[in-house]
A and B are shown apart, each in its own frame.
Chain A
Amino acid sequence: MKQFGKILKFELKYYLKNKVFVGVTVFLVLLIAGVMFFPKITESFKSDETTNSTETQPVMLVKSEMGEEIQQAFSVVFTDYEVKTTSEDLEKIKEQITSGEAECAFVITGNASYQYLVNNLSIYDVNTEIADSVLIDIYRMQAMMSSGMTSEQAGEIISFTVDSKVISLGKDQMQNYWYTYIMIFALYMVILLYGQMVATNVATEKSSRAMEVLITSAKPTAMMFGKVIASCLAGLTQLVAVFGSAILFYSLNKNYWGDNQIIASIFDMPVELLGYMLIFFVLGFFIYAFLYGAIGSTASKLEDINTSVMPITMLFIVGFLVVMFSFAAGSVDNTLMKVCSFVPFTSSMAMFTRIAMSTVPWYEIVISIVILIGSVLGIGVLSAKIYRVGVLLYGTTPKLSSIIKAIRKA
C-alpha cells in the first residue's frame, strides 16, 4: 500500500508537471472562456454601432402591380432589409443587384408567381419561403374578403394559432440531447487520450530500461494500479477544470446568452447525471487504462505502441459508434444498446447514454455497475500479470498465446 501511494504521487506529478498536459488544459479553459464570453463581447461591439446601423441595412427591391400594400407587408416580415418598391424593368433591377446597390429583388408577376433575384444565393437564404407565406396570406385575405367577410374576420382566421404543451413523463430527449452528447464525447476523448498515455508511459519505462530497476523495486500490481489511478485522477482534474470553468463562465454571462435553448439545456443538466457520469467515467476509464497499460508493457519500442494498441482502440471506437448511432437515431433502448450496457467494454458509454436519454430500471443500473466493478478488478489484476511478464520481454512483440502461457506460469 505504501509503495502504491508513492507510485501514485510520482506518476500524478508527472502529469501535473507535464507541459503538454498543462498547456492543453489552459487552452481548453481559454477556449471555453472565449465561447462563453462571446455574446457579451459582441454585445459591447454592437452598442457602439447602434447609432449608424440603420444606414447599413441592405436594400430589397420589390416590383409588383399591387404597389404599396405589398411593400408594407414585406417591410413587416423582412426586418433586416430596407424594402423599396421599384418600377424599373428586369434588366435594370439585375444591374442594381450585381452592382451591389440592392441585395435582392422580388419581381411579382401574378397572384401566385414571382421571380427572386439575388447575387449569391446563400444556403441559409429563406427569403423565398417568407415571401411565399406572405403572398399566400394576401391571396387568402383577398379571397375571403371577396366572398363577403370583413377584413377583421379574415385577419382573425389567418392569424389563428394552436396552443400546445408537451409533458414528458420520462426523459425529454430534446432537452437532454446536448449535454449527453457532450458528456459521451468527453468520456470518449479522455479515455482514448489517457489510455494511450498510460501505454506510452509504460513503454517508455521499458524502452529506457528504467523498468529493470522498477520491477525489482515495486510489485507489478502496485505499479499498474498506481499508474492507472494517477492517470485517472489527471483526467478527472482536466475534466473538472474544463467543465468547472464552463459552468463558472456561463453563470457570469447567463444574461447575455438569453434564451439560447441549446446552451440553457446544457447547463440545466441534473446533478445526479453528473454523479453517474463520474461513476461510469472512472470505471470505464479503468477498464481501458489497464488494457492499454498491459499492451504497453508488451511493446519493446515506442514506435510499436500505435500498432499494438490498435485492437483495444478499435474495440472502444466500435462501442462509441454503436452508442453514437443509437443516440443520434433517438433509439437508445434498442436491443444492441441493452446488450452493450452490460458488456464492461461498452457499458460505461451505453448505460450512461440510456440513463441520460431514457428511463432505465434501477436494478439494470446496479447490475451494470456491479459487472463493471468486477471487470475492473479482474482486468486490473490480469493486466498487472501481463505487465510483470511483458516488461521483461524484449525483442519481437510476443504473441498473445505466449503471453497467456507465461502468465499461467508466473
Chain B
Amino acid sequence: MILELKNIEKAFGQKRVLSGVSFRAESGKAFGLLGRNGAGKTTSIRILMDVFPADSGEVLIDGKPIDYNKIQIGYLPEERGLYPKKLIIDQLVYFAELKGMSKREAVKSVDYWLQRLNMTEYRGKRLDTLSKGNQQKIQLITALAHNPDIIILDEPFSGLDPVNAMLLKDVVKEQIKKGKIVLFSSHQMNYIEEFCDSIAILNSGKTALSGDLHDIKRGYVRDRLAVRTECADKIKSDFKENCSTAENGELIIKLSSADNKRSVMKQLVENYDIDEVRVYEPSLNDIFVEYAGNEGVKENEAVR
C-alpha cells in the first residue's frame, strides 16, 4: 500500500498554512515527517485524517483517492490527553468502538495492548491517577487498538523513560513488520534516523525535501572522509587546512575531488594508526538544518 499526498494546499482565512505539500509513504516502512514548529506538519496530518478538507490537492492510496470507510488510521497526537476522570478500560474501549470495532473486539484488543505495554494493572484505574509516561502509554493504545492500516505518531518518544522508549521502539518495529504505514513526526532526529526509511521536510507549508533517506544522503557529493583515530594531531599537521574536527571528535578530511577518496583512504590506513575510516555522510540533523532552518517560520498560534 502506498500513501501519497499530492500538492496539498490549505489556508485558514487569510493565513496560508500549506502551499504545496507532497510526500509518499509505503507500507512496511516508516516515514518521517519533519519540519520546524509551525511548518505545517499537524495541518498536513489533519488533512490526511479528514478532520478538514484541503483547499486543493489529493490524498491517495495506491493512486486512488483515500476511502476513509476502508482505511483505518491510528493517531497519537502531540498534544496528549484523554478523559482524566474516567476509567482507563472504559475510555480505551470507547475509542476503539468509535473506530468501528464491536464491543467484544474492542475489549479483547485493548486487553492485549494493556498487557503488551505492561499496563494491565491500571485497567480499572482512573487516568489521572497515572504518571505522565504511563498516561502516554495509555494514549498510545488509542492509536493502536483498532488495528489501523496507517499509524501516525506525533513526538511518540517525548516523556518516556529509556525502558519505555525501548518498549515503544519494539512495538513500532513490530507494526512496521506487519506491513503498516508508520508515519513519524518528531524533532528527535536520532529516532527518525533509526526508524525511517524515507522522510519529508516541510518548510513554511511546502515540502522542502522528500524521498528515501539513504538516497538523500547518497545524493550529497561524497568528497569528505570521516576518520576515527588516536593520532589525530599527526594527521591534522599532514593534511593541514583540509582537515577539521567534528563535534564527536572524528576528523573530517576534505578531498580535492570525490574521485580520489579510495587512494586517500588507502594512504591513511597504510600510514597512520586508524580505527575507522569511511566516506562522510551528513547526519539527518545537518540535512534538517539545511532545509528547514534558514527561513524564519512564524508560529501560527491560532491554528496548528
| Residues of chain A whose beta carbon lies under 8 Å from any beta carbon of chain B | 2-3, 6-7, 10, 205, 208-210, 212-218, 388, 392-395, 398, 402, 405-406, 409-410
Contacts and interface: CB of A to CB of B under 8 A. Distances in A.
Interface string B222-254: 000000000000000000000000000000000
Contact of B84 (A2, A6, A208, A406): A208
Helix, strand, loop or mixed for chain B's interface?
A: loop
B83 A392 contact: no
Nearest to A395: B301
A1 to B, nearest CB: 12
B51 A217 contact: no
Given A6-B98, A208-B84, A409-B12, 7 more contacts: A216-B51, A216-B73, A216-B75, A388-B51, A392-B46, A392-B52, A410-B52
Nearest to B14: A405
Contacts of B302: 393-395, 398
Contacts of A214: 98
Contact of A216 (B12, B49, B94, B303): B49
Nearest to A11: B94
A208 B99 contact: no
Interface string B139-173: 10010000000000000000000000000000000
Nearest to A205: B83
A210 B128 CA distance: 13
Contact of B79 (A2, A3, A209, A406): A209
A395 B12 CA distance: 15
A217 B53 contact: no
Contact of B99 (A7, A10, A217): A217
A212 B98 CA distance: 14
B83 A210 contact: yes
A406 B98 contact: no
22 contacts: A2-B100, A6-B97, A7-B98, A205-B83, A208-B81, A208-B82, A209-B77, A209-B79, A209-B80, A209-B81, A213-B142, A216-B46, A216-B75, A217-B95, A218-B98, A392-B46, A392-B51, A393-B302, A393-B303, A406-B12, A409-B12, A410-B52
Interface string B264-304: 00000000000000000000000000000000000001111
A10 B303 contact: no
Contacts of A2: 100
Contact of A405 (B13, B80, B98): B13
Nearest to A410: B52
A212 B73 contact: no
Contacts, number: 64
B78 to A, nearest CB: 8
Given A392-B303, A405-B13, A410-B53, A213 B75 contact: yes
Contacts of A6: 94, 97-98
Nearest to A223: B98
A406 B13 contact: yes
Contacts of B98: 3, 6-7, 214, 217-218
B81 A212 contact: yes
A15 to B, nearest CB: 13
A217 B73 CA distance: 9
A100 to B, nearest CB: 60
Contacts of A3: 98
A216 B49 CA distance: 6
Contacts of A213: 75, 77, 82, 95, 139, 142
A305 to B, nearest CB: 17
B94 A402 contact: no
A216 B97 CA distance: 13
Nearest to B86: A14
B250 to A, nearest CB: 42
A2 B52 CA distance: 21
A395 B304 CA distance: 11
A215 B51 contact: yes
Contact of A210 (B51, B81, B99): B81
A7 B91 CA distance: 11
B304 A394 contact: yes
Contacts of B51: 215-216, 388, 392
Contacts of A210: 81-83
A212 B77 contact: yes
A336 B98 CA distance: 46
B142 A208 contact: no
B93 to A, nearest CB: 9
A101 to B, nearest CB: 65
A409 B10 CA distance: 10
Interface string B69-111: 0000101010111111000000000110111100000000000
